[in-house]
Amino acid sequence: MIQLIENARKYTGRIALKCNEEKWNYEQLIQKSENIANQLIGDENDLKECRIAFLVDPGFDYVSIQWAIWLAGGIAVPLCTKHPLPSIQYVINDTQASIIIYSKNYKQLILSLELNIGQQSIPIEAFAENVFHKKALPNVSTERRALILYTSGTTGNPKGVVTTHHNIENQITALIDAWQWDKDDHILNVLPLHHVHGIINVLSCALWVGACNEFLVSFDEEKVFDVFKKKEVNLFMAVPTIYYKLINYFQNLPKMEQIEISAVLSNFRLMVSGSAALPISVLEKWKVLSNHTLLERYGMTEIGMAISNPYKGERKPGHIGQALKGVSIRLVDENNNAVQNGEVGEIQVKGPNVFQEYWQKPEATKDTFSNDGWFKTGDIAIFNKDSYKILGRNSVDIIKSGGYKISALEIEEVLRTYPGILECGVIGIPDEEWGEIIGACLITNGIILDIQQLNSWLREKLPNYKIPRKYIFQDDLPRNVMGKVTKKELLISFLED
């Protein structure tokens, strides 16, 4: 039994989804999902974990297809609508998806795919509105594989993260408990639906409790604020880049419109930021315009969410809070020994939220778990009093220079407070003498900075060994579709400079 869908049967008359002023209730969503599930099964009784990929814009069709795949006993493989053809081809080949469902916007892209014998692509329009000879759908165990989401591939080819229905249920219920989701909630979803942030944190949490999930097909600052001004939405979750863009747009609005928007935002019950480190400067600016301290949390594709600041209580800037209900967290040193409070270590996670495996990669799966069964996140943190603080990712955000381990995130936070610097990215550059030297990419929108003055200013804020040795200027930082800076690409810019 898929509890997420079973829950929906309690809310049949309530509005489940909204997009472009169209609305669908839970009964319509269930009926459409069951219709598609029957057509996917065809003459079989159960898809038996066949992979079904789909390239569909956010909205009613997307959710109906996802639920239909689960009802039919298949594994859902959502494709990123912003990815180029080679990336989509890779996922389809890797999962050996038997069916690729697509909406008309992606017809030409799908027709360009190289499909193997037995694979077929089907437009969403091909699924009839009603099935007159419905058959019993399979009884799907919670232990079955449900979803394959792909990592960003920063350390090689992307890996398919396999989660079961049991994993997903635990990821959802932990957030329902932590963030006090309710059937009267209404959330605006502007996040990509090939990622745990959009699928689990927003969409699935809303539908689990009978709330309304409103989609914005493509992000646009004006449209976001227009939706907010209708006073229906009371939750918002986004990545730091989105908050940054909304702040910049807001600051250029007429004063009276700013006052109107601020009054609306102050009535929201919750605003969350995640998927990348939230600059303290962004947190502070958003608090001024919304009267909300953004709730920061920590998670990954492999674990859903694991740590969160409190819904009620103090939220410390730069901190991510404590472990969610049912999730165990520990920090370990390089020898996999637990560290004491106040000491730096790698975050490791254990619990029913943790994924089952990397798709068809048993060695990679084995390598990412410790001998005693803890998932190794690769993120470095410290536990200060009652809250975790992320210092960086051991491969890209922890710079090893002259015997020191230096947090790139700490240097970035300081640089963002310097006049003229709008955004920045700090990385370690390989160096024969020092191991790595610190490089900083600055976004200044054409403002020319005096580097000597900048370094003199930095020495008042940071010890000398944390001062960047090389600077470059760019129009923007390279980012993935979730807005996270891709530091592997940034390193190439330094090496080519």
User: What pLDDT does 154 receive?
Assistant: 47
Give CA torsion, residues 483, 488, 490, 493, to 10 deg: -150
End of a domain among 79, 105, 140? 140
Q: Which residue has the tokens 């944390």?
A: 466
Cβ neighbours of residue 353 closer than 8 Å, sequence gap 6 or more:
167, 170, 171, 174, 303, 304, 305, 306, 324, 326, 327
* More confident: 255 or 278: 255
User: What pLDDT does 131 receive?
Assistant: 65
Do the domain assignments include residue 269? Answer: no
Do the domain assignments include residue 470? Answer: yes
Question: Which is nearest to 295 in space by CA: 226, 201, 209?
Answer: 201
Do the domain assignments include residue 98? Answer: yes
Categorize the per-residue pLDDT at 431 as very low, low, confident or very high, splitting at 50, 70 and 90. Answer: confident
Residue 318 has pLDDT above 90, yes or no: no
Question: Which is nearest to 271 in space by CA: 249, 287, 252?
Answer: 287
Do the domain assignments include residue 365? Answer: no
Model confidence pLDDT, tens digit, residues 162-184: 999 999 999 999 999 999 999 99
Query: How far is residue 11's CA from residue 25's CA, in Å, rounded to a whole number?
Result: 8
What CATH number is associated with residue 423? 3.30.300.30
Do the domain assignments include residue 234? Answer: no
Do the domain assignments include residue 45? Answer: yes
Q: Domains in the chain: how many in total?
A: 2
Q: Please state the rounded mean pLDDT for residues 440-462.
A: 93
Question: Which is nearest to 429 in space by CA: 412, 411, 459, 408?
Answer: 408
Q: Please state the rounded mean pLDDT for residues 321-339.
A: 95
Model confidence pLDDT, tens digit, residues 208-229: 999 999 999 889 999 999 999 9
Q: Please state the rounded mean pLDDT for residues 234-255.
A: 94
Do the domain assignments include residue 117? Answer: yes
Categorize the per-residue pLDDT at 132 as very low, low, confident or very high, splitting at 50, 70 and 90. Answer: low
Tokens of 290: 């919304």
Share the mean pLDDT of the chain.
93
Read off the DSSP letter of residue 37. Answer: H
Residue 272 has pLDDT above 60, yes or no: yes
Report percent pLDDT > 70 for the chain: 98
Q: Please state the rounded mean pLDDT for residues 64-69.
A: 98
Instruction: Kindly report the pTM of this predicted structure.
Output: 0.86
What CATH number is associated with residue 67? 3.40.50.980
End of a domain among 140, 158, 176? 140
According to the per-residue pLDDT averaged within each range, which of 42-46, 98-102, 459-463 is highest?
98-102
Do the domain assignments include residue 211? Answer: no
How far is residue 169 from each of residues 304, 351, 353, 355, 411, measured CA to CA in Å? 10, 12, 8, 12, 38
End of a domain among 140, 164, 180? 140
Q: Please state the rounded mean pLDDT for residues 395-421.
A: 86
Any alpha helices (H) in 229-371, and if so which ranges? 240-251, 255-265, 280-290, 362-367
Least confident of 12-21, 357-366, 403-412, 434-443: 403-412
User: In terms of residue numbers, what domain contains 36?
Assistant: 3-140
Model confidence pLDDT, tens digit, residues 253-265: 999 999 999 999 9
Categorize the per-residue pLDDT at 433 as very low, low, confident or very high, splitting at 50, 70 and 90. Answer: confident
User: What pLDDT does 11 receive?
Assistant: 97
Any alpha helices (H) in 164-295, and if so which ranges? 165-179, 196, 205-209, 221-228, 240-251, 255-265, 280-290
What is the separation, in whole angstroms, between the first and last Cα of the chain? 56
User: What pLDDT does 134 receive?
Assistant: 75
User: What pLDDT does 160 receive?
Assistant: 97
Q: Please state the rounded mean pLDDT for residues 43-60.
A: 95
Report percent pLDDT > 90 for the chain: 76
Residue 438 has pLDDT above 80, yes or no: yes
Tokens of 347: 């975050």
